[in-house]
Chains A and B, each alone.
Chain A
């Protein structure tokens, strides 16, 4: 069993949150409050030093006395305008920095996302359906590339809204929904794996780090 004070605190906090699974209770609520408080505080400190202090303040006033970057003032002003949201009277002014962020994100995403997730994906789908190796046909790879091509095309057709899903078009769309379901099924399986990993991590902490029952 651990003799470290911190490990005990951590273990009790873990149990406190898990107690909600049985029933809502004051112990859970205390742990939840500590969680909200400590996490908000943690993030605030990280942003304070790594950004506001290190980048903004020392960027404008370099510690070695060099000339600072005057452009950073723009960011500082936008940031301060952001804080105006706290006031009901001049809260509307916070729309300026918000517009800036929304616009910048839109601009960056519009092209970058399009390049990586559309153009590059279209380009890399243009593969030969028949894959040969040496003299003969590599059947495994051939089936694979046929499957990829069919999945992409039929999936896109399913999400095509300008034409009714009838006839051959409807048939392809049907294949599309099957591939989409396989895709979702796989991500479902992976999600289970992820969540279970988290639980295993916690259990390992309780039985290993705290109680010392696992070596």
Chain B
């Protein structure tokens, strides 16, 4: 039973979405709408599952005084603080006239977004700029024909998408040769190459989806034949 029920659920959910594309008639169109609602709800629960999981893992870390438990404490304090403030302000705004959102400017929750979440997440990704530069210097080599072609294409793209190479040749000509060239590369060879990749991926997704719906692929329920 532990294996059969999930398999049946998978198949039914998959079939409803696949069939309703072709048969919008009762009951498929309606079932699709209802299932769509369910997906959004389950995903919201999954986020809360993550919160509870994080609480459990970090709580255990603090309890056992494992290395780095002080940082775990900071995680818990900021997380619980953010949630408490957000939920309080959300309900307060709901009952206010006119109603306002927890997300509106001027709320403490918006302050957290603007001055904690935003700079921290932006910075995390901005660090990649440094790593790309150092990799460009230390690792990216034209070690074979393929890599060389890749680097050359990348060169024209980096120099052509911003007015860089065009600035260099500006004393000689006014036409933006490299800007046009990079646009051309994107619109023709790249569009073609991406299209080949997209067709391949679409077929791959189709076959793996089919395997999931038919119950041939079972790794999401713990694998095994």
Contact = CB atoms under 8 A, between A and B. Distances in A.
B79 interface: yes
Contacts of A193: 158, 161-162
A99 B6 contact: yes
Nearest to A150: B192
B153 A185 contact: yes
A207 to B, nearest CB: 14
Contacts of A147: 188-189, 192
Contacts of A39: 117, 120-121
Given A42-B112, A74-B34, A107-B17, A114 B206 contact: yes
Given A40-B54, A186-B185, A51 B161 contact: no
Nearest to B17: A107
A96 B1 CA distance: 11
A114 B205 contact: yes
Given A39-B121, A42-B112, A106-B212, A179 B184 contact: no
Q: Which interface residue of B49, B77, B90, B150 has the most chain A CB atoms within 10 A?
A: B150
Contacts of B92: none
Given A75-B37, A102-B10, A152-B195, A110 B123 contact: no
Contacts of A53: 90
A149 interface: yes
B107 to A, nearest CB: 11
How many B residues touch the partner, as a band?
35 or more
Contacts of A44: 47-48, 51, 79, 82-83, 86
A130 interface: no
B176 interface: no
Q: Which interface residue of B154, B198, B210 has the most chain A CB atoms within 10 A?
A: B154
A31 interface: yes
B132 to A, nearest CB: 5
A107 B112 contact: no
Interface in A50-70: 51-53, 55-56, 59
Interface of B: 2, 5-7, 9-18, 21, 34-54, 56, 68, 71-72, 74-83, 86-87, 90, 102-103, 109, 111-130, 132, 146-147, 149-158, 161-162, 184-203, 205-206, 208-210, 212-213, 220-222
Given A179-B189, A199-B126, 20 more contacts: A31-B120, A37-B75, A37-B77, A42-B112, A48-B86, A49-B86, A53-B90, A79-B45, A85-B49, A86-B52, A96-B6, A109-B209, A144-B187, A151-B192, A155-B193, A155-B197, A182-B150, A183-B194, A192-B154, A202-B126
List of 4 A-B pairs having minimum Cβ-Cβ separation, nearest first? A151-B192, A185-B153, A155-B196, A41-B82
